[in-house]
Structure 1
């Protein structure tokens, strides 16, 4: 049975995708040191977290029923330390969090929460909603989350209000078993957050490879504005599974993220009018978290917003020329993807044609002959089978001559 279970529950937009990919890619190395990241595929912890929280996810939540219990059972069967990581766990209710903590028997449960200042979290979360079919303007999003009124506000604060998350998740845990890992200020080296997580989880002495291709790179102002415009025009007529592939994967994650980095497109930022409110929240949170006695890796002062170095650009009024440039590149990306899919379709058609011809041919051959031919094919594939086949043929030859 696991002696220690580390539940990394988010928050979202704190390099969680990158951190999880590093754990996934290094799971064999970790296991050799008695630390287990129990997954068969990258999305296993996401599936389990979705099952636990029963969060709506375009119907996908119906496909993951039982996944949390399966993951917990696997964790209990392992010796040493187990790490489970997914950011949507942050949104669990108090009852769901209690169920999660109780899932691991007598193992010592630790909570790991990665944090970033709200001046970066708020625009990042709005952008993420845009990549999930949302058409809400940035101005409306800011207004409702400040007022804490409406569905957008509820979804945001359930996974971003740090004191509330800890009240739900850490209610019966000693403070030394609650580890807060703060994201460094903007501009820090990309591996700083990973090194802090390694320290918090006690795996900093294990040599890990840091290669990853799953960084959830942010989009610029124009690129985000384009996706929101696409959402408005599509008007939810595209099924979620097709939207995820064409818009979120092909356009947002591949083309527009690369364009943002390549062109230096202005990044999303907190609207200046909201900075005093966010700074006040940071003061309150830093005081509460510091007084709670939790283990902190990094510095709680990292939760205080730093001054913006660039002029604010409103994504609700992005420069049309920049949006047009992003749109042209998006069309080209879809043309290339369409060309690739045409080739794939042609190859599949050829395969279907070949299999159909083979089936028609088989239907014209008597059953006994088909069985013998398949047996010969199987036997011919190994030295032992070839010897047996040779012996059979020699025996058949003698039998024919004797007859």
Structure 2
């Protein structure tokens, strides 16, 4: 048995994918009654299956992904009706990975869905995402590397997942244009739920079939928080903190649960002189989509960056105020203290925690 159709949502990262996946999961039973299945299986999402295809170390998680894509395909082939598969890192699959995916779904009508957002917002979001994965690169260096790399060659992860032309070349090869659905992400301030409605239009679902919205997000943080995290990453690397504990303590407890909720954060934005470059990228993407004749859901003009007001003062993401950094640090200390209180040590908690804290403070 195989589903008659598979919608394969391959990214891009930081385009509302966590929101879309959460909504699919929360409404899985209701969607199944309408002939749509989101076959996550034993995991809450399809990350490990996607990692099995992308084949990257990912902080030591690659061994956990072995065989996960094949397991997802087996679940998918049991679906009656239509299956929806989704994870944003699939956009970064190399041609061999794409062939593996499409070959494994042979015998079904495969559609690829790609959500895209303007490059100005994506550069800022991807820099933060890399810092959240223990990197220490400054925004200036990250932007320089992006601008100096030919996006058509996709030698950097950023262009592999965010470069619309490259994603079209890899994932659209051999597909009829009408089976590649390009969903543009609405600009800030648009109607609530518009991204979900566009995703449903691309996949043939009725938005009303999935009324429950979740709270799970992959939020951005501000300049002070990101700068502080870069500094913390350098210290923690020297201290040898394992990646799994970093994910739990730093990325989850501090970044997502604490800093993401701080009010009045200074957003990370491109320097004014970079907007001409961003405009050129947008024009290339728009021309490529029109040339390919793919199904566009939304407005290609939304891929153009919104320039800041002429009198706006740009805040260098690498130089936040010391006051803001100190405030973020205090919030992090409170969050980690509360987290430590919820995780009592099996031995003497006061002695062991004091010893660890003393070692950290002496660095």
Do Structure 1 and Structure 2 share a fold, with TM-score over 0.5?
A: yes
Q: Which residue of 1 aligns with 2:167?
A: 165
Contact 1:76 1:105 in 2 (8 A): no
Aligned-pair RMSD on alpha carbons? Answer: 1.8
Residue 307 of structure 1: how far off its partner (Å):
2.1
Contact 2:225 2:259 in 1 (8 A): yes
Contact 2:37 2:83 in 1 (8 A): yes
Query: Which sections of structure 2, spanning at least 5 residues, go unmatched?
Result: 348-363
Q: Which residue of 2 aligns with 1:37?
A: 38
1:145-184 correspondence runs (5 A) = 145-148=146-149, 154-184=156-186
Higher mean displacement: 218-227 or 199-208:
199-208
2:252 to 249, 253, 259: 249
Question: What SS is found at the alignment partner of 1:163?
Answer: helix
Contact 2:223 2:317 in 1 (8 A): yes
Are positions 1:198 and 2:200 aligned together?
yes
Structure-2 separation of matches of 1:134 and 1:232: 8
Residue 312 of structure 1: how far off its partner (Å):
2.1
Residue 207 of structure 1: how far off its partner (Å):
2.3
Structure-1 separation of matches of 2:281 and 2:67: 38
Higher mean displacement: 287-296 or 308-317:
308-317
Deviations 1:281-340 (A, max 9, x none): 111111111121110110111100012355321121110000001101111111111111
Q: Which residue of 1 aligns with 2:23?
A: 22
Question: What SS is found at the alignment partner of 1:181?
Answer: strand
Structure-2 separation of matches of 1:330 and 1:250: 8
Question: What SS is found at the alignment partner of 1:288?
Answer: helix
Q: Which residue of 2 aligns with 1:335?
A: 337
Q: Which residue of 2 aligns with 1:80?
A: 81
Contact 2:46 2:86 in 1 (8 A): yes
Q: Which structure has the bigger radius of gyration?
A: 1
Residue 213 of structure 1: how far off its partner (Å):
1.7
1:208 to 201, 207, 210: 210
Deviations 1:207-264 (A, max 9, x none): 21232121111101111111111112223521101111111011100110011xxx21
Q: Which residue of 1 aligns with 2:108?
A: 107
Contact 1:117 1:305 in 2 (8 A): yes
Q: Which residue of 1 aligns with 2:294?
A: 294
Contact 2:15 2:115 in 1 (8 A): yes
Structure-2 separation of matches of 1:317 and 1:205: 43
1:173-322 correspondence runs (5 A) = 173-204=175-206, 206-236=208-238, 237-259=240-262, 263-308=263-308, 311-322=313-324
Structure-2 separation of matches of 1:244 and 1:105: 36
Larger RCO, structures 1/2 (Cα 8 Å, 6+ apart): 2
Question: What SS is found at the alignment partner of 1:282?
Answer: helix
Contact 2:52 2:65 in 1 (8 A): yes
Higher mean displacement: 198-207 or 88-97:
198-207
Structure-1 separation of matches of 2:42 and 2:305: 36
Residue 36 of structure 1: how far off its partner (Å):
0.6
2:326 to 324, 327, 331: 324
Deviations 1:345-398 (A, max 9, x none): 59xxxxxxxxxxxxxxxxxxxxxxxxxxxxxxxxxxxxxxxxxxxxxxxxxxxx
- State the TM-score, normalizing by the size of structure 2: 0.90
Of Structure 1 and Structure 2, the greater helix share is in 1
Higher mean displacement: 306-315 or 70-79:
306-315
- Give the total of aligned pairs: 341
Contact 2:224 2:321 in 1 (8 A): yes
Question: What SS is found at the alignment partner of 2:343?
Answer: helix
- State the TM-score, normalizing by the size of structure 1: 0.81
* Cα 1:273–1:311 shift into 2, 3 Å: same
Structure-1 separation of matches of 2:217 and 2:304: 24
Higher mean displacement: 302-311 or 234-243:
302-311
